[in-house]
Structure 1
Amino acid sequence: MKTVDISFITINYNSSDFTIKLIESIQKHTTISYEIIVVDNASEIKDYQSLHSFVSTQENIQLIQNRINSGFASGNMLGVNYASGNYYFFINNDTQLLNDAAKLLKEHLDLHQNIALATAQVNDENGNYSSSHKIFPSLIKEFFGNTVARKINKFPSNKITLEKPTAVEVISGSCMFFRASVFCEIGGFDTNFFLYCEEEDISKRIWLHNNEVHFLPTAKIIHHSGGSTDKSLAILKEYYISYKHLIFKHFGLIKGNLLMFLVTFKLLRRSFKNKNGVKLFIFALRGFPKKESLRYKQTIKN
């Protein structure tokens, strides 16, 4: 298999217009060797055909048609099976590169062998600075808030604009640039997550592997947040299912139960502030049952 510098890996789900724009931005800005791997997660046939028609005229692009929507983690892991790059650049299809972000991220990791995961500066649709990093859930964060938690763990606030490369605890799932060797060593994404919280989990595992996670402000992308995902009640439930898996995976039974109690109490306080509030609170009282995950509502395409 021929090795390239960067394997861009992205997922398409009924949003081929976004995917095509992402590909065009990669082609416009990237000056080092690369390949693009697009996993179509069982889109409607018209959307898939539109993407296939575009890709068939391009070089260095592999389009993989998944017959079932296997979610974010599994979809990306399917893409990894076809990747030959020294670095894996997992990037949401509703983003576009604003500069040669892949080269800048590669150069940063080439200079610092202890860094295994990095992200770019993420801007919103209006070009404004958007949060590219956050902190991992904790009891201190839930009891005392982000400010106190950051003072203890020493990671920077996501509300300030960072001007230089900085170590951060968790990066945005929309833009994740990995040293491929370390990604493979730790087993890649946890496919128990269908949607949400994958970035918290894998950022934590990178730190536990004695590597670092960095934010690089010179690399820039734009993110059209939620371009392929509607915030329905089912999607909100999916977030809490993923969050529960994250908490119990990393905290164990006692701390995990306490954290989930605090989440349930928070949902109670919010229950009458929006149309889905009461339903979410009832869902919490039922223990955020995994059997209601969207994972179990997918059908296999012919």
Structure 2
Amino acid sequence: MGLSVIVVNYNGELYLESFFESLFGALSDFKSPYEILVYDNNSTDASTTMLDMYYATHDNIRLFKNADNIGFARSNNFLVKKAKFKNLLLINNDTRIIDIRSIINKLNDVKELDKEIISCQILNEDLTVQQNIFSFPNISRLLIQLFLLKNLFKKIVKQRSKSKVLSNCYFSGCFIILSKTLFEKVGGFDEDYFFYHEEADLFLKMEKHNIQKIIFDDSKIVHYGGGGGPISEFAFRNYFISLYILYAKHYFKSNRYVLQLLFLISFYYRYLLIFMGIPFNPSPLATIYKGQLQTINSRSFLKKIHKTTLKEILKR
């Protein structure tokens, strides 16, 4: 029995107050003991002070800090190893729980989840629905993403319907409940991923163990997705480097040079669009987080983030 809540923080000052307030409220209905494990990745904002305050005033919070940012995957793996209880809630710090009573009731009825992976309905800040069910990667989806073709193939890349949730898909990593046994059985998150796509990799590994994926539509959280602003250089670079790692690991094991060639051609195609002044949204998150719909117009910024990202990919 019991629940270990796993939270990774990096500069989460804007979200922590509503995050903890909603989390404590949701867990008030939980009938077993719980703990909240927080890992701070060398934050540079006031979130470090806020975490110290929560740690000092709540006995069930366990706080860990590092002098370096070791990434999302490694931080989660570290916390899971420290977890006392058999069931895990992996939740982002930029979320706010609205109502997860149906999930709490499910957890109250079981000692340990077996092969169930549980998530909920995820909303944007304005309470519109945010995508939480994603098809597993394949070559066609990679090409659509790299060459900015999503608007031409909306029927292919549209959100999966709930009726298909049990096959060929994964959930957003911002809210996942599963057993510690299953998480450790598949080796946890692959630590080659610094940020982004680690949940897709995790689900691909768990898929081999006959898991049951469950969405509780009557349980809801808000996911701010980093605040909804234009994508940063950090996010852009790590998104595409992790995308490369994901496909290199699962689809191009013996011919990574082909994958690198695809990235090279697609990024030079983007250079051409930038040179010709043809606007495009560089954020791969724009179709997920409603707040990321605006385009970054600075040509110099677009050139920079594509150049530095491609350089790192071609070195791998």
Output the CA distance in 2 between the equivalents of 1:23 and 1:112: 24
Contact 1:20 1:51 in 2 (8 A): no
Q: Is structure 2 residue 15 aligned with structure 1 residue 14? A: no
Output the CA distance in 1 between the equivalents of 2:229 and 2:75: 15
Give unmatched runs, 5+ long, in structure 2: 280-296
Q: Which amino acid aligns with 1:44?
A: T
Contact 2:42 2:66 in 1 (8 A): yes
SS in 2 for 1:44: coil
Aligned counterpart, 1:217: 217
TM-score (structure 2 length as normaliser): 0.76
Q: Is structure 2 residue 104 aligned with structure 1 residue 103? A: yes
Output the CA distance in 1 between the equivalents of 2:213 and 2:233: 32
Aligned counterpart, 2:251: 251
Deviation for aligned residue 1:25: 0.8
SS in 1 for 2:304: helix
Closer, same or farther: CA 54–113 of 1 in aligned 2, 3 Å: closer
SS in 1 for 2:307: helix
Closer, same or farther: CA 257–200 of 1 in aligned 2, 3 Å: farther
Deviation for aligned residue 1:20: 3.0
Number of equivalences? 282
Aligned counterpart, 1:180: 180
Q: Which amino acid aligns with 2:159?
A: N
Aligned counterpart, 1:300: none
Q: Is structure 2 residue 49 aligned with structure 1 residue 49? A: yes
Closer, same or farther: CA 14–188 of 1 in aligned 2, 3 Å: same
Output the CA distance in 1 between the equivalents of 2:261 and 2:119: 32
Contact 1:39 1:64 in 2 (8 A): yes
Q: Which amino acid aligns with 1:238?
A: N
Closer, same or farther: CA 184–224 of 1 in aligned 2, 3 Å: same
Contact 2:136 2:168 in 1 (8 A): no
Output the CA distance in 2 between the equivalents of 1:135 and 1:70: 28
TM-score (structure 1 length as normaliser): 0.79
Contact 2:16 2:47 in 1 (8 A): no
Give unmatched runs, 5+ long, in structure 1: 292-302
Closer, same or farther: CA 118–140 of 1 in aligned 2, 3 Å: same
Output the CA distance in 1 between the equivalents of 2:107 and 2:264: 41
Deviation for aligned residue 1:192: 1.4
